Amino acid sequence: MGEYAAKIVDLKNEKYSQLIKMYNTKKRIEDKIDMLEQPYRNILYYKYIKGYNLTKVANEIDYEYKYVCKLYGTALQLYKKIK
């Protein structure tokens, strides 16, 4: 019984560590997105933080879908340049 309890504790600690890493990664991504100017910030925020597709992003920010697609490409390039 003690052996199973130890495995459960180890698994809990491992999952907690994974959760902390995921949170820190999400925080770094959000911080980089926050460095962008609008509308690029909103496009990446809705796409990657909220999980919206580009059609829904276009509706949220009240832009044409094709224009959002173009801005999305630019936003990714600008995001990539942030250190």
Handedness of CA 48, 53, 54, 55 (dihedral sign): negative
What pLDDT does 83 receive?
83
* CATH code linked to domain 2-81: 1.10.10.10
Separation of alpha carbons 61 and 78, rounded Å: 19
pLDDT tens per residue across span 16-63? 999 999 999 999 999 999 999 999 999 999 999 999 999 999 999 999
Residue spans of the domains in the chain: they are 2-81
Residue with tokens 């052996």: 3
- Say how far apart CA 29 and CA 6 lie, in whole Å: 35
Average of pLDDT values for 5-11? 90
pLDDT at 4 over 90: no
